[in-house]
């Protein structure tokens, strides 16, 4: 019995020595006390401000492309034209019809000129017939002259008055008709020009051509983009955030950005927009942010990662997340012990109880 007791004591001591030698063979760390930041991870892609795909208002064959990738363009600048022979003919015909209608309404050889001349002639005739009528009327009232002369003068007066009245009404009617024809011709010309404009694809912003997706001579459908444009100076960050994290994200929160093009550097940004609709394909939400401290140079399509700050807890005890086992335990000089944890982020975890700043921790095997 005494032999077995001695043997157990030897094994226990040997185990302690072996564990101590194992722990002493590893490099230990101690918990730290400082502010701990809770954050949400997001993948990042840099995109030009105002980035959009250019579509044509009309389908057809691309006659010519007037820009190339990397060109800067102004608002309204023509990017490409689509074959528009029919629209050109329609515009030419509309110009001819509008000019003819204008000449009829306003020109020297206008129809109204002949009507005005007719009215002037009838006014002279009416003036003459009116003078004769009232002269014959006075004579007849004085019992001078014959009744036949009076009646003939009255008849000529009535006939002149009626003719002048008809001419004036005809003039007004014709003028309204010609004015209406002229306005319709101008509207037809405007529609023809608008239709022709649909065959010219223009830029809707001052910016840069980032890509040309078609070539001259190719067919361009209503759902096919010709090019991709965006700002040449201003960029935004497009972030993809998992749906399990989106409820904690708000506009105005700060984000710390790392870009593959700038290894080892961190840039600050602020969230500016949260897309309310989830992308069913990726099961993520799109969030936009703007740089507070941008890199010296940016390019469309740069990728990286972001940590969005949710909240900060001051003066807490925390350890690297890698030192915590799956069942919330840590390895110390005293062996494996269970700890109570609080806030965690991508690489640190808060320790609520079970450790203090003097504890030594070792990486789990």
In a domain, 207, yes or no: yes
Please indicate, yes or no, whether residues 61 and 44 belong to a single structural domain of this protein: no
12 part of a folded domain = no
CATH number for the domain that contains residue 211: 2.40.50.100
Residue 348 pLDDT greater than 70, yes or no: yes
Q: In this structure, is residue 2 part of a structural domain? A: no
Residue at 147 is within a domain: yes
Which of 19-28, 163-172, 297-306 has the lowest average pLDDT?
19-28
Does 317 share its domain with 348?
A: yes
The C-alpha atoms of residue 251 and residue 240 are separated, in whole angstroms, by 14
In terms of domains, do 217 and 304 share one? no
Distance CA 285, CA 308 (A): 14
H or E element that contains 5: helix 2-25
CA–CA separation, 237 vs 235, rounded Å?
Answer: 7
Q: Which two three-digit tokens encode residue 274? A: 């949260």
pLDDT at 154: 87
Beta-bridge partner residues of 229: 52, 209
Query: What is the domain extent for residue 61?
Result: 51-83+199-231
Based on the fold, state whether residues 205 and 75 are members of the same structural domain. yes
Cross-strand partners of 325: none
Comparing 99-108, 215-224, 273-282, which segment has the lowest mean pLDDT?
Answer: 99-108
**Burial class (CB within 10 angstroms; exposed 0-12, middle 13-18, buried 19+) of 309:** middle
Closest C-alpha among 287, 296, 278 to residue 252: 287
Minimum mean pLDDT range among 18-27, 184-193, 323-332, 346-355: 18-27
Tens digit of each residue's pLDDT (9 = 90 or more) over 170-224: 888 888 888 888 888 787 777 666 655 557 889 999 999 999 999 998 888 878 9
How far, CA to CA in Å, does 250 sit from each of 39, 93, 108, 244, 308?
Answer: 12, 58, 71, 14, 10
Same domain, 263 and 339: yes
Residues 238 and 286 in one domain: yes
Same-domain pairing of 249 and 299? yes
Asked if pLDDT for residue 3 goes beyond 50, the answer is no
Burial (CB count within 10 angstroms: exposed 0-12, middle 13-18, buried 19+), residue 55: middle
Q: What is the pTM of this model?
A: 0.55
The angle that helices 147-197 and 111-141 make with each other, rounded to 10 degrees, is: 160
Length of the chain: 365
Instruction: Give the end of a domain, one of 186, 209, 231.
Output: 231
Q: Where a domain ends, among 231, 248, 277?
A: 231
| Structural domains of the chain, count | 3
Q: Please check whether residues 96 and 191 belong to one and the same domain.
A: yes
Task: Using the predicted structure, report yes or no on whether residue 70 has a pLDDT greater than 60.
Answer: yes
Residues 156 and 288 reside in one and the same domain: no
| Chain mean position to CA 202 | 15
- Please answer whether residues 361 and 29 qualify as being in contact, where contact means their C-beta atoms are separated by less than 8 angstroms: yes
pLDDT in tens, 105-144: 776 556 777 888 888 998 999 899 888 888 888 888 888 8
28 against 196, higher pLDDT: 28
| DSSP secondary structure string for all residues of 109-126 | T-HHHHHHHHHHHHHHHH
Query: Is 159 inside a domain boundary?
Result: yes
Judge whether 294 and 348 are in contact, CB under 8 Å: no
Output the domain CATH number for residue 160. Answer: 1.20.120
Residue indicated by tokens 């019995």: 1
Residue finishing a domain among 181, 209, 231: 231
Is 297 domain-assigned? yes
Residue 61: HSE in the Cβ half-sphere, 13 Å Cα cutoff: 6
Q: Does 17 map to a domain?
A: no
**Whether residue 275 is found in the same domain as residue 330:** yes
Residues 95 and 140 in one domain: yes
Report the 10 Å Cβ neighbour count for 131: 12
Q: Are residues 252 and 298 in the same domain?
A: yes
Instruction: Tell me whether residue 42 is in a domain.
Output: yes
């Amino acid at each position: 019995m005494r032999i077995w007791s001695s043997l157990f004591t030897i094994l226990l001591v040997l185990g302690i020595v072996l564990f101590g030698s194992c722990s002493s063979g590893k490099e230990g760390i101690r918990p730290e006390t400082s502010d701990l930041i809770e954050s949400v991870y997001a993948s990042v892609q840099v995109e030009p401000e105002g980035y959009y795909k250019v579509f044509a208002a009309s389908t057809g064959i691309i006659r010519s492309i007037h820009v190339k990738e990397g060109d800067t363009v102004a608002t309204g600048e023509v990017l490409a034209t689509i074959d528009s022979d029919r629209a050109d003919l329609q515009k030419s015909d509309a110009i001819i019809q509008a000019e003819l209608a204008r000449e009829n309404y306003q020109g020297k050889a206008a129809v109204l000129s002949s009507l005005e001349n007719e009215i002037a002639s009838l006014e002279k005739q009416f003036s003459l017939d009116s003078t004769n009528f009232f002269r014959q009327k006075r004579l007849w009232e004085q019992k001078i002259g014959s009744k036949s002369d009076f009646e003939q003068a009255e008849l000529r007066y009535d006939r002149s008055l009626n003719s002048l009245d008809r001419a004036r009404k005809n003039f007004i009617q014709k003028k309204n008709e010609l004015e209406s024809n002229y306005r319709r011709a101008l509207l037809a010309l405007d529609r023809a020009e608008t239709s022709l404009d649909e065959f010219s694809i223009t830029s809707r912003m001052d910016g840069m051509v980032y890509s040309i997706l078609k070539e001259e001579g190719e067919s361009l459908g209503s759902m096919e983009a010709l090019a991709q444009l965006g700002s040449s100076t201003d960029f935004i960050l497009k972030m993809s955030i998992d749906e399990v994290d989106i409820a904690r994200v708000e506009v105005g929160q700060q984000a710390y950005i790392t870009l593959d093009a700038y290894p080892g550097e961190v840039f600050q940004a602020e969230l500016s927009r949260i897309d309310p609709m989830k992308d069913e394909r990726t099961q993520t939400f799109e969030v936009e942010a703007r740089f507070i401290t941008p890199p010296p140079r940016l390019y469309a399509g740069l990728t990286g990662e972001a940590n969005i700050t949710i909240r900060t807890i001051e003066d807490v005890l925390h350890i690297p997340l890698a030192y915590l086992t799956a069942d919330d335990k840590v390895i110390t000089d005293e062996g494996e012990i269970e700890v109570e944890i609080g806030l965690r982020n991508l690489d640190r975890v808060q320790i609520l109880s079970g450790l203090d700043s003097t504890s030594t921790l070792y990486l789990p095997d």
